Structure 1
Amino acid sequence: MRILYGALLGAASLLAVAPAQAEKLTIATVNNGDMIRMQGLTEDFKAKNPGIDVEWVTLEENALRQKVTTDIATKGGQFDVLTIGTYEVPIWAKKGWLVPLDNLGADYDVDDLLPAIRSGLSLDGKLYAAPFYGESSMVMYRKDLFEKAGLTMPDSPTWDFIADAAKKITDKPGEVYGICLRGKAGWGENMAFLTAMSNSFGARWFDEQWKPQFDQPEWKDTLSFYVDLMKDAGPPGASSNGFNENLALFNSGKCGMWIDATVAASFVTNPKDSKVADKVGFALAPNKGLGKNANWLWAWSLAVPAGSKKTEAAEKFIAWATSKGYLDLVAAKEGWANVPPGTRSSLYANPEYQKAAPFAKMTLDSINSADPTHPTVKPVPYVGVQFVAIPEFQGLGTTVGQLFSAALAGSSTVDQALASAQQASTREMTKAGYIK
């Protein structure tokens, strides 16, 4: 008996000293500056949560969307934390695909989240994703080129002013293009930009009976204006350019103006990354005088798929990455100008941030002025500014994005692209039962 008892004691002591296996979280995220910075700071999370390890899967925007959508729809269970946007959250929450974030901790301060951002990530009052950063869109422009051309950028420019200025500051021999805009196909790439732009032109995806509207004059005005502007003042190969490509062009001094996500402001004013950091000004996204600016509303957010077996650890990670403490951590390492913007009221009340970020007020004004419940000039049956919050939009938006990218590339005409968009969307909406 004694021998057996001694053996059991020995085994127990071995178990006591064997290191516990760390719980590994697999996190799918988008390849952009703020997310890459978060990966660089992961050691802080691991130090505070010694039993949790982290593995990153970092993908370009279109690839990320495809992969996480396939995984969650098939209950693949490949990821424990997903980076998803304002479009997916309410749709996926309604399907039961996301875990409600009820345990972010007593000090998380969910009431500090900006109301416009929080409401887009909630369903029936429950938060299903926590915003890592929030954004609208705005004009970023080269003050030196405007001065040289004798131009003054208004706080709220019209599209006609933008087109005129773009042509005046273009210097093709010097490889400076008046304007850079998204052309890469994708519902969250060129269609995010073009849908927001179309809102300001009085266009809409669908009328109140869900009938597609690409055969209406407002869409023809939008797409013709965009294609002509890019032909006159845009860079070559624009139909391949998304957010990252245009950011690289702007930072290397090749773009006079760039209309895109407000989150880019900290990248274009960072002397480490941008050759023109001290020459950048900001304005609201343009309008056509119809009461709507071409600004969108988005948040890249972190969520837990219902298929994850590591919900508790995943919520701990999300609470760390989207907390006030994380903003303080980035500020300490990189400076206040580089903290993820657009999520918390306290950030915009912080005098240190206001001083470090000349774009802070314009970002907040842009976020607050976007209205997902009334996104268009004419009434619509849908919610969403640069997207339509229905499950079918992901596929349909990408199809239309490919048609419009082809029109920009010159491989089809504006009229052909719009006719094909009308046909494709009518077919899809009829099949899905929206149109009787």
Structure 2
Amino acid sequence: MGRRAYVKGALAVLVGLMAFAISQYPDRSAEAGEAKVTVLVEGGSPAFKALQKVKPDFEKKYKVKLEIATAPYMGVRDKLISEVVSPTGAYDVAAIDVLWFPLVRNVLEPLDDLATPEVRADLFPHLLSGATFDGRLYGMPLWDNAEILVYRKDLFDDAAEQAAFRRRYGYALRPPTNWQELKDVAAFFTRDLDGDGKTDMFGTSLEGFGGHGDAVTNWLYLAAQAGAKSYVTDGRGEIVIDSQPYLKASHFLIDLIDAKLVPPTYMEMASPQNVELFKAGKLATTYVWAHFLPDLYRSAAAGRAGGIGVAPNVGGAVPGAWYNVVFRASKSKSAARALVSYLFEHDDAVADAFGVAARRSVLEARATMPEGAHLPALIRTLEDRGTFDRPALRRWSEIEESVLIPTLQTILLREKTPEEALPQARDEIALILNRQRARP
């Protein structure tokens, strides 16, 4: 029996057992009528769309009414925090960003029994570690994601371009696999196409927009590619933002800017802007979250000769995982747990809505389809040893918004050197974490 068939069978057994549990041990909410599960999700998100898709079949199979409560991204986080301060039982299940676990795990129900050996074998290790605290699992993965390389195949597959690149750099033109190759490719394809003295196409891009987390994400995974083994703090809790990998990552970004290999609007750019410039033919390569690829495949960019090429990130990336969780104060725990299992089994509903998924078996199956051409690159990026989660810090959002983003912008705008800015960032983070230490 193949792995996908084995996992599918095991999941079916698990969901069947959950259905039996509901029938044998009805939730307290059922005493007053039909059992009900209320799910909190970001409005219009892939989680919302997946819930809408599975809702009719889930309600029919489990005889449970499914209510979907929505809020904007930050609104979901605020409602979660309210449940921590004063648990109300208003929600049974929520779809949450991995970054929110440190804020809410004390009000969540452990879900260890749902992560059977078969389930664990179908997940990337960081998906389990990201939701595990004190040896207990508090969330079931909803999807996984990472930034991957997108490039113009019409340029990379062109024989004249290949010959010219080899003459200039001494090796074959290919999607870059390290920083030097990325610099070479970016320099080669940065061009004035119409002879007016202005650059019309840039070899790559840079994410510097402070109002979006992509800028920090990009900076962090560059530090990992330069040798960082953790983000911002190490395994002992020491702050490492001023260590060599972060200095190298900062200087790499500065080098791209100084060589004018990225659009001059880099301080206004994140993944959505990169996608639009790529669609318009203004970028030869760029890095974007994998979930943007289905939209790119439907765009005019896909109609260029050769279409759109994808490749793994050059050395791992920051994963962007989301999870389904069950609240400890839920009055419908059995039904809530059944829903979480059902959504995991039907991970293809997320893939339909978002172009990515949590389960390796779903990603591998869809990688053989035209609309899943980006998934082999995503899988390889998620497997890379340089791919690991941001630290599980309760005050991570504050650190990112008040320290990391301003520090990165200060560096990119050349207001301070990395050697000046990063020690200051270290001390600011220490203040936030109440671990102030004197500068050497």
TM-score if structure 2 supplies the norm length? 0.71
2:217 alignment partner in structure 1: 192
Give the CA deviation at 1:424.
0.7
Per-residue CA deviation, residues 159-215 of structure 1 (Å, 9 max, x unaligned), is 122123223323575754432343334795322221111122235634676443444
Paired residues for 1:28-427 under 5 Å: 28-29=41-42, 34-35=46-47, 37-38=49-50, 41-44=53-56, 45-46=58-59, 48=61, 51-60=64-73, 63=74, 66-67=77-78, 70-75=81-86, 77=88, 79-89=91-101, 91=102, 95-101=105-111, 110-116=119-125, 117-123=127-133, 126-147=136-157, 149-150=161-162, 154=174, 157-171=177-191, 176-185=201-210, 188-203=213-228, 205-206=232-233, 210-230=237-257, 232-269=260-297, 271=298, 273=299, 275-276=301-302, 279-286=307-314, 293-323=315-345, 325-327=346-348, 340-348=355-363, 350=365, 353-356=367-370, 357-370=372-385, 385-407=388-410, 410=413, 412-415=415-418, 417-427=421-431
C-alpha contact (below 8 Å) 1:403/1:417 kept by paired residues: no
Alignment partners' CA distance in 2, 1:142 and 1:267: 15
Give the CA deviation at 1:312.
3.6
Per-residue CA deviation, residues 370-429 of structure 1 (Å, 9 max, x unaligned), is 367xxxxxxxxxxxx352233343322332332135236628334454343133123334
Per-residue CA deviation, residues 69-93 of structure 1 (Å, 9 max, x unaligned), is 533442365644333234444x457
Alpha carbons of structure 1 residues 72 and 161: separation in structure 2 relative to 1, 3 Å: farther
Alpha carbons of structure 1 residues 276 and 318: separation in structure 2 relative to 1, 3 Å: same
SS of corresponding position for 2:109: coil
Letter in 2 for 1:256: A
Alignment partners' CA distance in 1, 2:55 and 2:432: 46
C-alpha contact (below 8 Å) 1:75/1:307 kept by paired residues: no
Query: When the two structures are aligned, how many residues end up with a matched partner?
Result: 383
C-alpha contact (below 8 Å) 2:142/2:347 kept by paired residues: no
Give the CA deviation at 1:155.
6.0
Alignment partners' CA distance in 2, 1:126 and 1:221: 36
Alignment partners' CA distance in 2, 1:124 and 1:211: 20
SS of corresponding position for 1:275: helix
C-alpha contact (below 8 Å) 1:189/1:242 kept by paired residues: yes
Alpha carbons of structure 1 residues 191 and 127: separation in structure 2 relative to 1, 3 Å: same
SS of corresponding position for 2:406: helix
Give the CA deviation at 1:131.
1.2
Alpha carbons of structure 1 residues 349 and 165: separation in structure 2 relative to 1, 3 Å: closer
1:13 alignment partner in structure 2: none
Per-residue CA deviation, residues 279-317 of structure 1 (Å, 9 max, x unaligned), is 22222222xxxxxx2423342111123344443443333
Alpha carbons of structure 1 residues 340 and 207: separation in structure 2 relative to 1, 3 Å: closer
What value does the CA root-mean-square deviation take over the aligned residues? 4.0
Alignment partners' CA distance in 1, 2:87 and 2:206: 36
SS of corresponding position for 2:429: helix
Per-residue CA deviation, residues 343-383 of structure 1 (Å, 9 max, x unaligned), is 22433553x642442333322222122367xxxxxxxxxxx
1:382 alignment partner in structure 2: none
TM-score if structure 1 supplies the norm length? 0.71
Alignment partners' CA distance in 2, 1:23 and 1:175: 56
C-alpha contact (below 8 Å) 1:137/1:262 kept by paired residues: yes
Letter in 1 for 2:382: I
SS of corresponding position for 2:232: coil
Alpha carbons of structure 1 residues 220 and 275: separation in structure 2 relative to 1, 3 Å: same
C-alpha contact (below 8 Å) 1:211/1:435 kept by paired residues: no
Letter in 2 for 1:407: T
Which structure features the higher share of helix residues? 2
Gaps of 5+ in 1: 1-18, 287-292, 373-384
SS of corresponding position for 1:233: coil
Find runs of 4+ consecutive structure 1 residues off by over 6 angstroms. 433-436
Alignment partners' CA distance in 2, 1:339 and 1:201: 30
Letter in 2 for 1:161: E
Alpha carbons of structure 1 residues 224 and 174: separation in structure 2 relative to 1, 3 Å: closer
SS of corresponding position for 2:401: helix
Alpha carbons of structure 1 residues 181 and 81: separation in structure 2 relative to 1, 3 Å: farther
